[in-house]
Structure 1
Amino acid sequence: MESTESSYVSSPEAARNRSPPPPKSPTSGNVEKPMYIRFLVSNAAAGSVIGKGGSTITEFQSKSGARIQLSRNHETFPGTSDRIIMVSGAIDDILKAMELILGKLFDELNVEDNEDVGPRTKVRLIVPNSSCGSIIGKGGATIKSLIEDSQAGIKISPLDNNFYGLNDRLVTLTGTLDEQMQAIDLILSKLCEDPHYSQAMHAPFSYAATYYSMSYAPNGTGGKFPNHKEDRSNSITIGVPDEHIGLVLGRGGRNIMEISQVSGARIKISDRGDFMSGTTDRKVTITGSQRAIHQAECMIMQKVANATERMMD
């Protein structure tokens, strides 16, 4: 396995031990065209995919013929605490690798929940904003067809303007393993036809600069703002909806203390009624090293995202 100091973790044994390619699927005429897919996993799930000493990721690469790369544990998708997996190769190889990865995560979920019936879970794909049109289609016709054909739920997030330079969106697939795999197959066939999609393959994990860039939104809305002592203290202020502040604080301040302890950052929340300019978002000031700020912000935004997702379900 490559050193954890590299941008991605993968196994050098894969190229030598790859098994013959699986039978071709009828996905499209572009089966042999080099492709890729990126998706989010929790840190715990990432550990399961890697396996002890890299054994699992080596096995999956050997069985599928695809290359599987994983971001480092502190390199997460902006606004989340999730790491990124990129699977690349021919489409059939990618599909085989995805089935192995998602199948393992589904199996572990079944063991935890003691369920006999396959659960409906979510997987979030990362797709360049410029390529989302090929999934949506004119008037939403394509995405409706994808949902009908796969029986999976498919939702595309809006582009998050809070992160300067972020040009990717999340495509959330909800369903059983079979439904998710069918949706992935269909989506890949659409992305394969998009000439712009392959461009991001050469920069699969370019969020570090994006995450630490300061975004100055008009009137301070939805942006990140450097503290006047930033050069000395590395401080940023983010906005959190007033209705979600309780989740960030936790009972008796438990959540915010945990976030501070885990990340090493100092966190201060503005008083009631003290909002970001032009919004009803409370000010949350995070101070510390860039890595500490990054981790604390990820943990805070994950709590907000989880609350928002529950409200939408």
Structure 2
Amino acid sequence: MEPTKLQSEGGLNVTLTIRLLMHGKEVGSIIGKKGETVKKMREESGARINISEGNCPERIVTITGPTDTIFKAFAMIAYKFEEDIINSMSNSPATSKPPVTLRLVVPASQCGSLIGKGGSKIKEMRESTGAQVQVAGDMLPNSTERAVTISGTPEAIIQCVKQICVVMLESPPKGATIPYRPKPASTPVIFSGGQAYTIQGQYAIPHPDQLTKLHQLAMQQTPFTPLGQTTPAFPGLDASPPASTHELSIPNDLIGCIIGRQGTKINEIRQMSGAQIKIANAMEGSSERQITITGTPANISLAQYLINARFRDVAAMWNDPASMTAS
């Protein structure tokens, strides 16, 4: 079969969608002040550029259009990233310019064609474009897609993307593709007055997580004392605040995740917080277990924080059963 030729002038009038995985900082650079940069990219390239919503450390940028518009959009993104690198270098002592790096998200069923027999295709791409190309060995979480990382000069990246588009057009994905959706940032969850909060920067903001109910149930009697604020006037000056005791109830079916295998998790929390933590025996007819935490207000605060963090980790595993074995 004769390979498809793509010319940048005119190009093939084939509509294609390419997905990119970007960090928040990169997305900010593409959007620009008041969305001006992405608006300019859309207008000048003619491609549709969509950016996934959500408070995630990673975002998906989808570029759709005839192949020639996609190449123009890629060129603009690659040159913008190069500009960002040059600007960041003006404040640093580094002399060698790091390469521009883009991460494509490609259905796993197409990755074999990108790699080629015995790695022949990917080797040919590297040699003919001068770009570094790597296909991730594992699929991205909860998806049937893999990350393909391209790095090099903007010119090398553009040539490489053209070759990848040819392969993707010649070898369409097989079967259904489960697209990768980045997860929201897993920020610590803290409880106060029965409400869950996440910490962003220096602020605690109400946390609308669907697991709040689970946390509230477990933490309903847990007011949170911010670390270091045990003495309002001069935190930290009072060398030995009096020991106090705090009690909370945790449902029986959740106590295991706090104790951990052979008590590993609870011992970890004891060591890290410096608090004494006692778990009462199960009472007949009761669906809850009493936990008593004793120590300075800061110790107690840290113990509660670590217990919350443990619930967060377990909740995340419930959402992602594949990671269950890791805990």
Provide TM-score, normalisation by structure 2: 0.52
Match of 2:107 in 1: 128
- Of the candidates 136, 140, 163, which is equivalent to residue 157 of structure 1? 136
Matched, 1:148 2:127: yes
Match of 1:216 in 2: none
1:56-97, Cα deviation, whole Å (9 max, x unpaired) = 11111000000001012424xxxxx32111111011100100
Count of aligned positions: 205
How far off is 1:27 after superposition?
6.4
Moved over 6 A (4+): 27-30
Match of 1:38 in 2: 19
Superposed, 1:166-245 pairs within 5 Å as 166-196=143-173, 206=181, 232-233=214-215
Could you say which structure has the higher helix fraction? 1
Which moved further from structure 2: 136-145 or 116-125?
116-125
Superposed CA RMSD: 4.2
Q: Report which of the two structures shows the higher radius of gyration computed on alpha carbons.
A: 2
For residue 137 of structure 2, what is the amino acid of its counterpart? P
- Of the candidates 116, 141, 148, which is equivalent to residue 137 of structure 1? 116
Per the alignment, do residues 104 and 29 of structure 1 end up closer, same or farther by CA in structure 2, a change over 3 Å counting?
closer
Superposed, 1:107-126 pairs within 5 Å as 107-114=83-90, 119-126=98-105
For residue 111 of structure 1, what is the amino acid of its counterpart? N
Match of 1:106 in 2: 82
Per the alignment, do residues 120 and 288 of structure 1 end up closer, same or farther by CA in structure 2, a change over 3 Å counting?
closer
How far off is 1:54 after superposition?
1.7
Distance 1:68 1:59 in 2: 11
Where in structure 2 are there 5+ consecutive unaligned residues? 187-210, 217-253, 258-271, 274-303, 321-327
Give me the identity figure in percent.
Answer: 27
Per the alignment, do residues 286 and 37 of structure 1 end up closer, same or farther by CA in structure 2, a change over 3 Å counting?
farther
Does the CA contact (< 8 Å) of 1:152 and 1:173 recur in 2?
A: yes
Per the alignment, do residues 197 and 87 of structure 1 end up closer, same or farther by CA in structure 2, a change over 3 Å counting?
farther
How far off is 1:153 after superposition?
1.1
Per the alignment, do residues 266 and 71 of structure 1 end up closer, same or farther by CA in structure 2, a change over 3 Å counting?
farther
Per the alignment, do residues 71 and 230 of structure 1 end up closer, same or farther by CA in structure 2, a change over 3 Å counting?
closer
1:144-176, Cα deviation, whole Å (9 max, x unpaired) = 111111111111111248x3x411101111211
Where in structure 1 are there 5+ consecutive unaligned residues? 1-23, 76-80, 212-228, 238-251, 254-264, 270-283, 298-313
Does the CA contact (< 8 Å) of 1:129 and 1:159 recur in 2?
A: no
Provide TM-score, normalisation by structure 1: 0.55
Does the CA contact (< 8 Å) of 2:59 and 2:182 recur in 1?
A: no
Secondary structure at the residue paired with 1:83? Answer: strand
Secondary structure at the residue paired with 2:79? Answer: helix
1:115-134, Cα deviation, whole Å (9 max, x unpaired) = 89764132211111011011
Does the CA contact (< 8 Å) of 2:139 and 2:147 recur in 1?
A: no
Distance 1:130 1:29 in 2: 29
